[in-house]
Chains A and B, each alone.
Chain A
Amino acid sequence: MNHAQAATQFIKDEARTDWHDKALWFVRYKRDIQTKKVPEWEQLRELASQIKANVLSELDSYLIQFEENALKNGVHVHWAKDAHEHNDIILNILKAKGVRKMVKSKSMLTEECHLNPYLIQNGIDVIDTDLGERIIQLRDETPSHIVLPAIHLKKEDVGETFYKYLGSEKGASDPKYLTEVARGHLREQFLTADAALTGVNFAVAETGGFVVCTNEGNADLGAHLAPIHIASMGMEKLIPRQSDLGVFLRLLARNATGQPITTYSSHFLKPNNGQEMHIVIVDNGRSEQLGREDFRKSLYCIRCGACMNTCPVYRRSGGHSYSYTVPGPIGSILSPGIDLKKHSSMPFASTLCGSCTDVCPVKIDIHHQLYKWRQIIAKEGDFPLSKKIMMKVMGFMLSHPKFYRFAGKMARTALPIMPRFMLYNNLNAWGKEREIPQAPKQSFREWYLKNRE
């Protein structure tokens, strides 16, 4: 299914679509309040972008430096060129120690690698511990947003899920009550797990340490209680100096959810007494993306999710309408590099309004990259047929001004008197799920010429 088809399903429930749209816009609004409190906000964005540019340009030496320091700290370091190797490394660590239950905090990388099904197939009980992730895990769904994984669900959905799997009261949907039920259930999991896996928000080359940011405290409860801590990290998560964290931690939470900082910014350097700590450094297509001049900046991403919250298409089509694990604007510039055919509709799920680029804390030129992917996809011929025809027609009209004016006049005359079946049919995507606005009596050109006189 392409994005437009999947989105058609999503918007069938109008009230829910509206709620989704507004809930995410509210997150954007809270972001704006926080960012305006920091006078040097724009300077911080520029610095973050420059630091990331430097990281990419010296990534090989930073990776070596990071590994050296992590080894000195007593941490095991593994390298995975793809998702399969990543999953295998983790399975082997767990098997060697006879692990049966592993608790996991949020990690988009493990979603990208489809780690959970792999481990479960191999007899390991994997429990997601971020509340939103646990909800969707119980429902056998995937996250629909990288920061707010269950944003597509209403509290009644969660109530039903918890009633079914966690024994909460039937019909209960109060978020406070449901959170309490999850707290009780997950505490039990933290206390009985033999291993914990976390993601990595930032890895520091000069110390060999890494930082994990959460609000719930789930990463820490897992990592400090279990005898084994595994951290999965995409290799672009490196930053050179510890002091660079000052820049990124000031940006991340403010831009993500409108908090001045996440509740917990945990700095891991060495394993706890008697504990084993592992870091898996993952490539999985990143080194290839690094070689694409037009698209390598997508590797600056710190996964704040702001480009999704602000995107008019994402807000009204939901994360599950996108064919890739990472949805929204950033997902749409990452995914074609991974599988151009499979994700060919994603770069078209955008109005190119540029709002994503405006809010991006590391200044990725997201909408320019969307446009560039479109050109590549068009060349490869993976263009929907109706779009192809329309592009030809538009191309002709726009290069023949007289014809353009004539067509405009025709439309203004014809639209108001056209019968509904001619407007609202399968040929006109703009007539689906919405009413066509009334055509103005006058074109802008006519108005301009008249008023200039």
Chain B
Amino acid sequence: MSSKSYILERVKQNKPMLSVLPVVPMFERKDDVSLISLFKENLEFVGGRLIELNSKEELNGQISEIYPDLKIIASTLNVEAANLDLNSIIDPHALKGIDLTIIQGDFGVAENGAIWIPANTISHRVLPFITQHLVIILDKTQLVCNMHQAYQKLDIHKADGFGVFLSGPSKTADIEQSLVIGAHGSRSLVVFLV
């Protein structure tokens, strides 16, 4: 007997009586809390920074002001500072020198500061992880309250096989429980809400 049939046979024998799968409600918030302020509060709690822009035009100025010294800058968007052509790169290992990456987020989740980033929008899956610093542009109308709504909204089958909820810069507390920002992934995260 193959291991598969052996396992399935035993599971079948040993499993308990049928127990019904519950319906999960959406848990909409009843108060009129602003999604933007809730998102901001949580993003800051997880070590990120939120900057609200009046228009996309302000983006270029902001980038050069916040990151005056960063050398290699990649973007999937039309950003002046970008100087690395992502389309010319086939092997993802070649992305290792990137200092700053600027990408578009699909939508944000107010309850935890997470942003959904599907692979079809970032040219290389490893991009938001391998970069030293990360900037995400987010449309302020694209915020949902909680994870139930988030899953209602996202379509994993359009994501090109991979997607990530990203909440803040990478971090660790593995040494004596002291929080250090910048573990293996990005050292900082700025979200521009437009």
Q: Which residues of A contact B (CB under 8 A)?
A: 23, 26-27, 38, 40, 43, 47, 50-51, 53-54, 56-60, 63-64, 73, 79-81, 85, 129-132, 135, 148-151, 153-155, 158, 175-176, 178-180, 183, 186-187, 190-191, 207, 209, 215-218, 220-221, 224-225, 235, 240-247, 249-250, 257, 259-272, 281, 283, 287-288, 290-291, 293, 296
Contact = CB atoms under 8 A, between A and B. Distances in A.
Given A50-B19, A73-B161, A221 B113 contact: no
Contact of B111 (A47, A60, A260, A272): A260
B183 interface: yes
Interface stretch (B58-66, B77-85, B135-143, B174-182): B174-182
Contact of B3 (A85, A155, A224): A85
Contact of B175 (A158, A268, A269): A158
Contact of A131 (B27, B96, B174, B186): B174
A293 B22 CA distance: 22
A95 B168 CA distance: 38
A221 B184 contact: yes
Nearest to A62: B11
A260 B46 contact: yes
Given A131-B183, A179-B183, A224 B176 contact: no
B74 to A, nearest CB: 15
Given A246-B148, A267-B156, A291-B13, A149 B7 contact: no
B37 interface: no
Nearest to B2: A79
A145 B41 CA distance: 30
Given A60-B12, A63-B8, A150 B174 contact: yes
B114 A261 contact: yes
Interface residues of B, number: 71
B151 A245 contact: yes
Contacts of B129: 217, 220-221, 224, 264
6 contacts: A60-B8, A179-B180, A263-B46, A264-B167, A265-B114, A290-B10
Contacts of A190: 184
Interface string B158-193: 011111111111111111111010111110000000
Contact of B162 (A149, A178, A179, A272): A272
A81 B7 contact: yes
A211 to B, nearest CB: 9
Interface of B: 2-4, 6-8, 10-22, 24, 27, 42, 45-46, 92-93, 96, 109, 111-114, 124-126, 129-130, 146-148, 150-152, 156-157, 159-178, 180, 182-186
Nearest to B161: A270
A250 B147 contact: yes
Contacts of A216: 170-172, 183-185
Given A80-B3, A148-B177, A283-B7, A53 B19 contact: yes
A253 to B, nearest CB: 8
A247 B175 CA distance: 30
Nearest to A212: B164
Given A187-B96, A207-B156, A218-B184, A51 B161 contact: no
B162 A263 contact: no
A244 B22 CA distance: 10
Given A79-B3, A81-B6, A283-B10, A217 B186 contact: yes
A221 B177 contact: no
8 cross-chain pairs, A with B, having the tightest CB-CB distances, nearest first: A217-B185, A270-B161, A291-B14, A132-B174, A260-B112, A216-B183, A224-B126, A287-B10
A99 B104 CA distance: 35
Contacts of B46: 259-261, 263
A246 B14 contact: no
Contacts of B186: 217
B117 to A, nearest CB: 10
B89 to A, nearest CB: 13
A247 B160 CA distance: 24
A196 to B, nearest CB: 11
A135 B186 CA distance: 21
A49 to B, nearest CB: 9
Contacts of B20: 50, 54
Contacts of B96: 187, 191
Contacts of B2: 79
A130 B8 CA distance: 33
B194 to A, nearest CB: 23
Nearest to A250: B147
Contacts of A246: 24, 146-148, 150-151
Contacts of B111: 38, 250, 260
A95 B16 CA distance: 39
B174 A221 contact: no
B165 A217 contact: no
A149 B18 CA distance: 37
B120 to A, nearest CB: 11
Contact of B14 (A40, A179, A287): A287
A86 to B, nearest CB: 10
B182 to A, nearest CB: 7
A247 to B, nearest CB: 6
A23 B160 CA distance: 42
Nearest to B126: A224
Contact of A51 (B21, B167, B176): B21
A183 B8 CA distance: 42
Contacts of B6: 81
Given A85-B3, A215-B172, A243 B152 contact: yes
A264 B92 CA distance: 19
A56 B16 contact: yes
A305 to B, nearest CB: 13
A187 to B, nearest CB: 7
